[in-house]
Structure 1
């Protein structure tokens, strides 16, 4: 009975993250022979294969929304409201291919994303122009994502890395970032923190960012029975944000609530996801 429950939950989670083509995509990623960008012992494989990515991914979206140009591009072009699960599945597949797939598949995936970025351009409500392919904007998206994944793994990962391991993780992600067009991406945790701080004068919570936060945190397209589990995920994604980011998004902070309720719920949630996904895939993002 318990094994059957785990299998059902694992399949449901995998379908949600990887989409209907997930099994075939997973087989191609892992079973195709050839050189990879990252060898099996690299930290990027450890981090991206852990259930903590569920928390880190949502936290990254909230953090990224604070750049007005990035948020304007997402709001106008990504379809995150009309097809949020499709966007999740495409992102998950990109992470899986570049982390675990062959070098040729990783290069093709990067070229597809770069081609999409070239078409994403426009103006904010204030008339400021944006281009998704602009290196500075790509650098913000990369830094926010890397920091969120790292924070999530450090807090909820099954096997947290040491300081050298997380420095190596940042260096691993830099390889993907450079391929996407980021100039001089951070290569250790200290430089990552410095890069995030350098962006802070540009960040603010626009009306689009606040609307996105309300959608992501309060109105997910999920059946009612799944809402309590998502609420725990959302609470931990918020708790993972830097305090200044929570302040800008107008989300109240309580260290006591975070320590006594939110973090234990996050540990239980990621542990349950890890237990279920073990039977369904080789990790939450190994589509």
Structure 2
């Protein structure tokens, strides 16, 4: 029993350090009392369920990075400005903090995080390898990054959540509506708000997507990432699982050849087991508990 307790604590500490930098910063979620948050969602809502599922978010997150890389201008910005190669853990922590804060944090905390990202975006601009200029605050690019991200998160949840907990078609539409305000606050325009709109958007933009050398290099980097043998093993499992979340055309464009039988009979079961281990080690989410307390607390009386 002591061995299990020690193992659980060790895995939980490593997970917290890798995803949250060791500090959950619970003050973002604790108050002010009665604050409903930016998305105005409650526990049990689709956005809460999707963004609160560790395995779905980790696999969906890796899938999102690969899918986003297929837009040459978005990839140029990452390749020329991001520190994901020199500090991949720092990049992961910043991304996780943004998603958890905008989903579960108070509205002031979410607005502060969005303002920070908007300031960073104003400095990310340049020229892609094909000679086209780009800037990270381009509304069209922001819509692409958001849509690729949330569709991947939803695919991860629908694949790795227990069957009885998966979203209905109507709830999938609700999910897209609930998360759209984050993209719009960042400057995105014409953000898809339903499964049908996402499908139509991806069909429209697909002719503009292709795997540049930078995109293929980023995928190779992700597949080999890890500071320790155990971290590399977990990342390898999650990356293999994320490949199964990509559309067939995206896998083909990236040159990823992983047979369907391997994806379904090996990658998915192994990722499910690893994910359950991580969830067991983490235990009940402190972030979710803090958000629940904030929302359930009566707001202060005026005067």
Q: Deviations over 1:83-109 (max 9, x none)?
A: 111111011111111101111111111
Deviation for aligned residue 1:229: 2.2
Partner of 2:166: 160
Name the SS of the counterpart of 2:256 in structure 1.
coil
> C-alpha distance in 2, partners of 1:280/1:138?
30
Matched, 1:127 2:131: yes
Deviation for aligned residue 1:126: 2.1
> C-alpha distance in 2, partners of 1:56/1:73?
21
Contact 1:29-1:96 within 8 A present in 2 as well: no
Contact 1:59-1:241 within 8 A present in 2 as well: yes
Contact 1:59-1:148 within 8 A present in 2 as well: yes
1:132-281 aligned within 5 A? 132-158=136-162, 159-217=165-223, 219-278=224-283, 281=286
Structure 2: tracts of 5 or more residues without a match: 292-303
1:59-98 aligned within 5 A? 59-98=63-102
Contact 2:226-2:232 within 8 A present in 1 as well: no
* RMSD between aligned residues: 1.5
Partner of 2:296: none
Partner of 1:13: 15
Contact 2:104-2:287 within 8 A present in 1 as well: no
Match of 1:45 among 34, 44, 48: 48
Partner of 2:298: none
TM-score, length of structure 2 as denominator length: 0.88
Q: Deviations over 1:35-83 (max 9, x none)?
A: 3123323321111111111111111001000000000000111111011
Q: Deviations over 1:115-145 (max 9, x none)?
A: 1111110001221100110011111101100
Structure 1: tracts of 5 or more residues without a match: none
Contact 1:235-1:262 within 8 A present in 2 as well: yes
Deviation for aligned residue 1:279: 5.3
- The number of equivalent residue pairs is 280
Larger Rg: 2
Deviation for aligned residue 1:280: 6.6
Partner of 1:36: 37
Deviation for aligned residue 1:263: 1.1
CA gap 1:279/1:46 in 2 versus in 1, 3 angstroms: closer
TM-score, length of structure 1 as denominator length: 0.93
